[in-house]
Amino acid sequence: MQNISEEKCKLVEELGLSFEDNHNLPPLAGRIYAVMILSSVDGHSFEDIIEITSASKSSVSTNLNLLVQLKFIEYFTKTGDRKRYFRTTKNYLRITLEEYLESIEKELNLVKKVNSFNKEHNPEKFKKNKNLGLIFQEYLTTQKENLETTIKKMIAFNNEFDQL
């Protein structure tokens, strides 16, 4: 981490680590993403990233491409300049939430499956824990709804913003 303040550097590490396990990204990808979120510059070049992260060309290349592929970041070009410039996609927060939503939906399905399996095969156990299982299912459902309304809000905000 060069050319950035110590405060920012620390926050990059912390945020990077968080991306790392929330989105299953390699450490370097998490850090690159964090750098972009915490920066006011609109567009970091390949070389900028190499310098800031002190990583090799090949690693930076791989991880930038990964982030692009996952739509966390995008790149643009300037006329008369062969370089690519990278920045976070406008919808990165929404993408994060959509990812969560997907995983919550999966979990909810699994919990329903488990509940109905136990209802059928372990009726006594199910009776005992019925309410707990259902409370859990209820929790996941509420969480799913919260996600869905939040995503809608974000879409609405972006539409509004685009009209300006």
Applying CB under 8 A, the residues found at the interface with a second copy are 7-8, 11, 14-15, 18, 22, 37-40, 93, 96-97, 106-107, 110, 113-114, 117-118, 121-122, 124-125, 128, 131-133, 135-136, 138-139, 142-143, 146-147, 150, 153-154, 157-158, 161
17 contributes a contact to DNA by CB under 7 A: no
Name the nearest CA neighbour of 27 among 35, 19, 37. Answer: 19
Chosen residue from 18, 22, 65, 131 binding DNA by CB under 7 A: 65
SS3 85: strand
* 123, β-bridge pairs: none
118 contributes a contact to DNA by CB under 7 A: no
55 binds, among DNA, a second copy, none (CB under 5 to 8 A by kind): DNA
In order of 70, 131, 132, 134, the CA distances from 126 in angstroms are 40, 9, 9, 10
DSSP summary character for residue 83: E
Q: What tokens does 12 get?
A: 């990059």
Name which of 30 and 133 has its Cβ closer to DNA: 30
